[in-house]
Amino acid sequence: MASSEPPNEIGFGQIDASYKHHLETVPADDDGPIWMVSMQRAEGGLDRLQSVADVGGGEVVLAGDVIRQVDGDATHWNQLTVVKFPTRRNFIQLAHHPAFKHHPGFGHMQLHEAIILGCIPSPSMPTPSHLTVPTWNAVPHPATDDDSPVVVVHAVRYADTDWSPDDMAAYAHALAAASVPHGARGTRWFAVEGTIVGDGRHWDDVRFTMYPSMSAFLAVVNDLDHITAYERHRAHLIADMYTLVMRPRIDRLARSIC
Tens-place pLDDT, residues 107-157: 556 788 999 999 999 988 778 888 888 999 999 999 999 999 999 999 999
Which pLDDT tens digit goes with each residue over 30-52? 999 999 999 999 888 788 788 87
On the CB side of 99, CA atoms within 13 Å amount to 14
> Would you say 249 and 28 are in contact if contact means Cβ atoms under 8 Å apart?
no
- DSSP conformation class of 147: B
Closest of 62, 154, 49, 50 to residue 111, by C-alpha? 49
State the architecture of 121-257 in CATH terms.
2-Layer Sandwich (3.30)
Closest of 160, 103, 122 to residue 37, by C-alpha? 122
For domain 9-66+73-120, the CATH class is alpha beta
Which pLDDT tens digit goes with each residue over 66-112? 999 998 887 889 999 999 999 999 998 887 776 555 544 555 567 88
- State yes or no: pLDDT of 188 exceeds 70: yes
> Would you say 184 and 233 are in contact if contact means Cβ atoms under 8 Å apart?
no
Contacts of residue 186, defined as CB under 8 A and 6 or more positions apart, other chains included, come to: 208, 209, 210, 254
N-term to C-term CA, the chain: 47
Which pLDDT tens digit goes with each residue over 196-226? 999 999 999 999 999 999 999 999 999 887 7
Report the distance separating Cα 238 and Cα 133, nearest Å.
26
Q: What is the residue-averaged pLDDT of the chain?
A: 87
Question: Domain segments of the chain: what residues?
Answer: 9-66+73-120, 121-257
Report the distance separating Cα 121 and Cα 244, nearest Å.
19
> Given this chain, do its domains 9-66+73-120 and 121-257 carry the same CATH topology?
yes
Closest of 28, 18, 30, 20 to residue 100, by C-alpha? 20
Mean pLDDT on 57-62: 94
**Residue 80 amino acid letter:** L
> Would you say 205 and 117 are in contact if contact means Cβ atoms under 8 Å apart?
no
Mean pLDDT on 160-174: 85
Q: Which strand (E) or helix (H) includes residue 139?
A: none
pTM of the model: 0.89
